[in-house]
A and B are shown apart, each in its own frame.
Chain A
Amino acid sequence: MAEYRAAQAHTDAGAPAPTPDRASGRLRAAAALAVLAALLLATVVGCAGHGGGDERVTIRFMQNKREVIDYFDEVIARFERENPDIHVVQDNNEAGFVPSLVRGSPPDVTTRGWAFASADIAKKDVFEDLSDLQAARLIDPRVQALVDEWGRHEQGATVALPFSLTAAGVIYNKDLFEQHGVEVPTTWSEFVAACENFKAAGVTPIYGTYKEPWTVAQGVFDYATGGVTDITDFFSAFEAGGSNPGPGAATFANTFAAALPVMDYLRTSVQPNAPSRGYPEGNVAFANGEAAMYLQGPWALTELAKANPDVRVGTFPLPVTDNPDDRRVRVNVDMAVSIPKGAAHPREARRFVEFLFRGDVINAYNADNAAFSTLADAPPQTDERIAELDPYVDAGRYYQGANTYLSPSTQALGHVQSYALDGDGPALLATLDEEWQRIARRNDYREIN
């Protein structure tokens, strides 16, 4: 408004305005220049699109893990040597995937961490059924079930093939354990005894990083809940309850009350400044021996080695009951391979997927990256930092973390963090129940499902 009035005042004061003819002449010249520039740009871009005389088919491979970009560059180089008619371009912008679906130009092959969010996309029928691939027959059916349980657009379809399984437990400092004569605990009582032993010796039992909600959710919350009940069964019963579960039904408050003593003990066995420490600080501190144990997954191992190359660590599953046979590990499908519908070169994409699942490719990747191969006949993982988890993965004694089942719209991570700070476990479980029912009600309002 001010500008308008100012302009008005200016012309009213009688300042010379440009004559219409001269002004429009200049405008035309400017417009012509702009069009010319646009044409030139279009030509240049157009030329760049056609690589001079290359007969190969180019497929785009969207790979979701930044830390293994170089690794996959080598995998791709091998593939291209064996398949000279295909050129693979690696793309690491996972955030561009949904927009590419909207534009109708998805990548030819994708890898994704497979859980709630990926399944949400898969339910919209955007991935091809891969059940006819050779690779689909090689995969351990129990691992495939981890992918399938999240849901898909139709029963029986294989929307993603699990490529890499990561297993998380308690990372422990082998030097500190030996120094204080502590054995790896196999029951909850032994675990408590080990913690008390460390406390008595002035060593922090567990390094807590409560500043970052996900670390609490994946450690304290998931390990404790996963130890007391079968997570898959719980959530299918829980979902059946809908927005109005009856008394005694499968709810957080009913089912996970048993996990609260474990959570409370873990929560309080940390260093005093846990609330102000995050994941990066935790990695450095743990690598430098500031605590004996660290509730983290194998993704932290590289960071630990970076912070202190001499640190010797191992990983054991957290025992939550006094029966050693109850021990299980928390796993997640770190990478699952899919072919989006509408990709430009589905045939070449399938050849690339078959290549990725060849034993010498997939097993080598997982052996090198502290993960577990998803093939039924995979060799054991020998990396000493996670080798102790191999028998559990091999026997299928694992679960996917309870926190990953909660919709991102529930603020579950925030509630779990609040628990870590204030210690009110019953309130956490009640809040999670409320949130879940609220989402169910909201979806009723919005006619979803």
Chain B
Amino acid sequence: MTQSMLARPATATAPPPRPRRRSTDRAYLIMLVPALVLFTLFLVVPTAFGMFFSLTNYAGYGPWEFVGLGNYLAMLDDPAILQAYGFTFFFAVVTVIVVNVCALAIALGLNAKIKWRNGIRTVYFVPMVLSAIVVAYVFNYLFSITLPMLAENAGLTPLASSILASERWAWVAIVIVTAWQSIPGATIIYLAGLQAVPGEIYEAASLDGAGAWRRFRSITLPLVTGYVVINMILGFKGFLGAYEIVLALTAGGPGDATTTVAMRIFSGFSGGDYSYQMANSVVFFAITVAISLIQLRFLQRKGVSL
């Protein structure tokens, strides 16, 4: 699907005028209605329920009553929630940058004329097919046991304590694992973009005496801008919902240093905080919708359609 989106030329010509029809084609209905029904049933209805309950003091069971905006007011006074928003946005921004820089670099390498190119490409895509939670548990072991042991044997005592046990640096481990898992997906998109850049341009540039860096900066980068934007947007949206990797690595700790908004929302299922966290999720929803709208506008200006 991404491929077809990206393959569309970025021209701004007006679409041809639509011919008038007496009625909508049945094929559209057949394709549209099941999707619409499923979407409504499993997304719209639960969302509406959640929004409704965010105005109550419902615990998830038992009696409840309306409390107006009480849940929302209480949220403003809750550093645990504000902390989660702060961490989640910080994490999403950092990870998006790390993932895109690394993915572009890897894509450039995999697109070059190298030996065993296909084999190496396959190896680089392995992280994508592994389950995130499994990967995170493996890394948890590496960070807590293996790395400190290696550091100790090498005489690097300051590094001998686990990065996961540090409130200041645990986020680095989460960024590393998330990036490790997400880079292949971004790399595929960049590879597709790089293959769409015509070789003649590079030849012409070489004849004009442009070096490798100059070719990258003046040819490659401008021609793959659309792909960079797409990767940024898809990545950012995904990282905002970070959950399972954090859960397996730090469970939101140490303290609550790495608790994400999604984890905070999920915690509402215990402790009778259901409606409170529903209010939180409504706010989170509003924020992500706002960000998406801004990004969409930005995309349209760049001439990429999603």
Pair B167/A124 contact, Cβ less than 8 Å: no
Residues of A within 8 A of B77 (CB): 438, 441-442
| Contact across chains for B162 and A211 when beta carbons are under 8 A apart | yes
- Determine how close the nearest CB of chain B comes to the CB of A260; give it in whole angstroms: 18
Q: Which of A1, A281, A441, A445 lies in contact with B145, CB distance below 8 A?
A: A281
Choose, from B180-188, B240-248, B249-257, the stretch at the interface: B249-257
The answer to the question of B71 belonging to the interface, with a C-beta cut-off of 8 Å to chain A, is yes
Q: How many residues of B contact A (CB 8 A)?
A: 55
Contact A446 B70 (CB under 8 A): yes
Instruction: Say if the beta carbon of B134 comes within 8 Å of chain A.
Output: no
Is the contact region of chain B dominated by helix, strand, or loop, or is it mixed? loop
Chain A residues with Cβ below 8 Å from B1 are 2-3
Please indicate which of the listed interface residues A124, A213, A409, A415 has the most CB atoms of chain B within 10 Å of its own CB.
Answer: A409
B30 contacts A27, C-beta separation under 8 Å: yes
CB pair A121–B256 under 8 Å, yes or no, is no
* B267: chain A residues within 8 A (beta carbon): 408-409
Closest to A117 in B: B270
For residue A2, which residues in chain B have a CB less than 8 angstroms away from its CB? Answer: 1, 4-5, 8, 305-306
Chain B residues within 8 Å of A276, by CB? 143-145, 148, 161-162, 164-165
- Pick from A15-23, A52-60, A220-228 the stretch touching chain B: A15-23
9-residue interface stretch from B61-69, B100-108, B119-127: B61-69
What's the least CB distance linking A230 to chain B, in Å?
25
Can you list, as one digit per residue, whether each of B269-284 has a CB less than 8 Å from chain A (1) or not (0)?
A: 0111101100000000
* Any A CB within 8 A of the CB of B26: yes
Q: Which residues of chain B from 15 to 61 have a CB within 8 Å of any chain A CB? A: 15-16, 18-19, 25-28, 30, 57, 59-61
Measured as residues with beta carbon below 8 angstroms from the partner, the interface class of chain A is 35 or more
8 contacts between A and B (CB under 8 A): A18-B27, A23-B26, A123-B62, A272-B161, A273-B160, A273-B162, A414-B253, A442-B78
7 closest residue pairs by CB, A with B:
A124-B62, A276-B162, A275-B165, A408-B271, A418-B255, A442-B74, A409-B271
List chain A positions with a Cβ less than 8 A from chain B.
Answer: 1-3, 5-8, 11-12, 17-18, 20, 23-24, 27, 98, 101-102, 116-117, 120-121, 123-126, 210-211, 213, 272-273, 275-278, 281, 407-409, 411, 414-415, 417-418, 421-422, 438, 441-442, 445-448
Q: Which residues of B come within 8 Å of A, CB atoms?
A: 1, 4-5, 8, 15-16, 18-19, 25-28, 30, 57, 59-63, 65, 67, 70-71, 73-74, 77-78, 80, 143-145, 148, 160-162, 164-167, 251-256, 259, 267, 270-273, 275-276, 305-306
